[in-house]
């Protein structure tokens, strides 16, 4: 998709702002936790991407804080760096297509971690994280729906 400046501009216009909503964390078979997530997204990298400051709360206590930076090339390739408040940063790569960002990485245990961030509805963001390996079929470990405030 060479020369996708229009698609990038549309995504940046859609994503910029304050988002909040309910999250479902899968802790194990038949075990989920409901959390509340909030992130503020801002354009960055001279129009080539955006940053997101994120907090997750469970039972009104912050359980996770992180910053994410997305760099989107004119060919719609995406490089995402996820930096938690503690622990090591993680780098994902993938692509942007129709206001949906699809990135993945293989972790130290050989698991493929995939994040799909769907901004196709300008007022609702749907984000899903899956894991998979050669011996484990893909399973959803995180899903969320956020509303633009």
* Cα 128 to Cα 98: distance, rounded to the nearest angstrom: 16
Yes or no: say if 130 and 147 are a contact pair by the CB < 8 Å rule.
no
Cα–Cα distances (Å) from 124 to 29, 38, 64, 78, 127, in that order, read 28, 13, 22, 21, 10
What's the confidence (pLDDT) of residue 29? 85
* Cα 65 to Cα 83: distance, rounded to the nearest angstrom: 9
What's the confidence (pLDDT) of residue 115? 98
* Domain hosting residue 37, numbered range: 5-148
What's the confidence (pLDDT) of residue 2? 45
* Cα 89 to Cα 81: distance, rounded to the nearest angstrom: 7
Instruction: Tell me the whole-structure pTM to 2 decimals.
Output: 0.94
What's the confidence (pLDDT) of residue 3? 53
The domain that contains 37 carries what CATH number? 2.40.128.20
* Cα 140 to Cα 138: distance, rounded to the nearest angstrom: 7
Number of domains forming the structure of the chain: 1
Which tens digits make up the pLDDT trace of 4-14?
677 899 999 99
């Amino acid at each position: 998709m060479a020369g996708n400046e229009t698609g990038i501009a549309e995504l940046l216009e859609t994503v910029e702002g304050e988002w909040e909503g309910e999250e479902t964390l899968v802790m194990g078979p038949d075990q989920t936790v409901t959390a509340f997530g909030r992130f503020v997204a801002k354009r960055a990298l001279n129009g080539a991407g955006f940053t997101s400051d994120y907090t997750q709360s469970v039972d009104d206590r912050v359980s996770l804080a992180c910053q994410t930076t997305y760099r989107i090339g004119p060919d719609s390739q995406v490089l995402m760096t996820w930096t938690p408040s503690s622990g090591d940063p993680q780098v994902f790569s993938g692509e942007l297509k129709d206001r949906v960002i699809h990135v993945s990485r293989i972790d130290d245990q050989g698991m493929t971690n995939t994040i799909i961030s769907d901004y196709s509805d300008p007022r609702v963001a749907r984000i899903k994280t899956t894991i998979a390996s050669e011996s484990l079929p893909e399973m959803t470990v995180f899903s969320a729906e956020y509303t633009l405030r």
